[in-house]
Amino acid sequence: MATAPIVGPAQAITPQEIKAKGTAVIGVQMDQFPWGFVNENSKNEGFDIDVANMIASELGVKAEFVRITGQNRIPSLVGGMVDFLVPSMTITEERAKVVQYAIPYSANDITVWGKKNAQIRGNDDLGKFVIGVNRGSAFEPLLVKVAPPNTRIKRYDDDATTVQALLSGQVDAILGSVTYGLVIEKTGRGNDYERKYKVADNLQGMAVRKGDQEMLDFLNDFVARRTADGSLDALYKKWIGVERPKLPTTLPGVDFTGKR
Tens-binned pLDDT, residue by residue, of the chain (260 aa): 334 344 445 566 999 999 999 999 999 999 888 999 999 999 999 999 999 999 999 999 999 999 998 889 999 999 999 999 999 898 999 999 999 999 999 998 899 999 999 999 999 999 999 999 999 888 999 999 999 999 999 999 998 999 999 999 999 999 998 889 888 998 999 999 999 998 998 899 999 999 999 999 999 999 999 999 999 999 999 998 888 989 999 999 999 999 98
Torsion of CA 246, 71, 3, 42, to 10 degrees: -50
The pTM assigned to this predicted structure is 0.77
